[in-house]
Amino acid sequence: MCLDFLNNQDPHVGDENAERGNWSRKRDYILSMIGYAVGLGNIWRFPYLAYKNGGGAFLIPYFTMLVVAGIPLFFLESAFGQFCSQGPINVWRAVPLLQGETILNSDVKALMSHFSYMLGNVYFLFKASQVFLMMYLNKTRLGHVVVKAPSLSPLCVSPMEVVYFTATFPYLVILILLIRGVTLEGAKDGIEFYIGTQSNLTKLTEAQVWKDAATQTFYSLSIGWGGLMTLASYNNFHNNVFKDSFVVTLTNAGTSVLAGFAIFSILGHMAHVYKMPVGEVVKEGFGLAFIAYPGALSKLPISPLWSILFFFMLLTVGLDSQFAGIEVLTTCLLDAFPKTFKTKRALLTITTGSILYLLGLPCVTRAGIYWVTLIDQFVASWVLLFLVLLEIIGVSYIYGGNRFIKDIEMMLGNKSSMFWLWWRACWFFISPCIILVILGWSMATFVPPTYEKVEYPDWGLALGWCMVTFVLIWIPVIAVYQLIKVKGNPWKRLKSLCSPSEDWHPYLDLHRGQRYSQERCHRKKNHKNLLEVDINVVSSSWL
């Protein structure tokens, strides 16, 4: 999606924002959003969490979290980016105090978050290659083969047409593997374990199951990573972002469930072969995708074909996530420094990919699995939940949920109060409360991460906490910096930074209407009065 994803020649959509660009076709946006959201979290992480948390029992908390947190927050982020046609940096002009929620000039949160996510993708892709090579060489231990390969980040400068393939090919492979899997002996036991007849419903009384469900929802939908705002920012102003949110989120959830059927049918076959219960076939999360599944595929007729299809599928879903991830970083730079980078988009994209290439190298060494586990445990769980909580508080309580609803109605048209009842309940109460409970419980029951019963040394755990601190510290640091920079007494400074800046409005004049034109004049007048007060105070002190 990165370089040529904006084709402004489509007469059916038109380019209403010639300066910044728009999606050429609606399906380009939908496929890119699906490709970004549907990734390794659906193919590997969801089936493993279902396997770990009682099979079909896990579907109950997962869909509950999807309804009360996943869809509302997906809608919120997409609408936020579309309204102002800006990426994760400039979107926080709505609440300048939370500029620390952004990247580059004011924060490195999204940068670190995307790097950590991409590091995981890099490891997954090349570990898959490693396992496939191991099977080909008939090795018995993973440690015998170390793939010294570069990350695929520089490849993510592909044209938009690539997304048509990378977003749809995984579904073809999943369907092929599902059809083959359900024909295997023992597949019925695996599917029964997955959909409920053999699932462990007592797991629903464990808080860990609900935490995993919430984290998986955010992780799978890519909420809090900045990508949703970025991709939505290229929509036309009146695009029906509400409908799009349902299409993408339900497609994402359906993909997870479909992948679960494919994997559990093969797990049932493995359980039949090894003569053990389905719930005891695999014990490690990474092992589900990269040990158990390849092992099962190797026992099928024409096993090289199935293995190639499976690992190529992992490659394509990883590439889709990288496409959008790199687009987030380049969009942030373009929005922040339009004069500098507007004519250098290709160079900017290649440079970003090269930096990610270097950052991905540690994850393809012998210790790569431990780096990925450390990043996943510390950065991709607590940090993600905290930032999503701060985001929803910033929009709902500081910027104002009712004001945000009026902004959405400027794009979609007026809606009834009953229409907004559910979304108000989620944005103001249900979603933040759920995240708070999960965060509190996670901290109270923290257990140091391990991999294959290997405990991390003290310096490794300290490094994990340093990563968390490095990501979050910029939020209060930038807030303090902003308070110092603004003129006036402490209360006026805080009030000013909790109000939208002069530059917060729809990108094009024709969409601002009377409301935002009046508000902008009012903000300029207040700013001028505040400066006059400061000048008078300084003059008095001199006299």
Cβ proximity of 33 and 252 under 8 Å = no
Cβ proximity of 51 and 279 under 8 Å = yes
Q: Name the one residue in this structure whose structure tokens are 């797991």.
A: 203
d(CA 50, CA 62): 9
Cβ proximity of 118 and 361 under 8 Å = no
Q: What residues contact residue 378 under an 8 Å CB cut-off, 6+ apart?
A: 449, 464, 465, 467, 468
d(CA 16, CA 236): 7
Q: How many CB atoms lie within 10 A of CB 383?
A: 21
> How far out from the chain centre does Cα 70 lie?
11
Query: Any binding-site annotation on 38?
Result: yes
DSSP class per residue in 85-114: T--TTGGGGGSGGGGGGSBTTS-BHHHHHH
Handedness of CA 379, 354, 341, 79 (dihedral sign): negative
Query: Any binding-site annotation on 252?
Result: yes
For 255, counting Cβ atoms within 10 Å of its Cβ (0-12 exposed, 13-18 middle, 19+ buried), the class is buried
DSSP class per residue in 298-324: TTSTTHHHHHHHHHHHHHHHHHHHHHH
Cβ proximity of 109 and 225 under 8 Å = no
Q: What residues contact residue 72 under an 8 Å CB cut-off, 6+ apart?
A: 423, 426, 427, 430, 431
Query: Any binding-site annotation on 220?
Result: yes
Question: 51, 49, 375: which is closest to 198 by C-alpha?
Answer: 51
Query: Any binding-site annotation on 42?
Result: yes
Tokens of residue 81, six digits: 């980016």
Q: Which residue type does 16 have? A: E
3-class SS at 510? helix
Beta strand ranges found along 226-318 (DSSP E): none
Q: Which residue type does 510 have? A: L
Q: Which residue type does 507 have? A: Y
d(CA 258, CA 38): 12
Tokens of residue 385, six digits: 């939940």
Q: Name the one residue in this structure whose structure tokens are 């944005």.
A: 427
Tokens of residue 235, six digits: 């929509």
Find the radius of gyration of the CA atoms of the chain.
24
**Largest Cα–Cα distance of the chain, in whole Å?**
93
For 527, counting Cβ atoms within 10 Å of its Cβ (0-12 exposed, 13-18 middle, 19+ buried), the class is middle
For 510, counting Cβ atoms within 10 Å of its Cβ (0-12 exposed, 13-18 middle, 19+ buried), the class is exposed
Q: How many CB atoms lie within 10 A of CB 263?
A: 29
Annotated binding site for Na(+): 35, 37-38, 42, 220, 252, 320-321
Annotated binding site: 35, 37-38, 42, 220, 252, 320-321
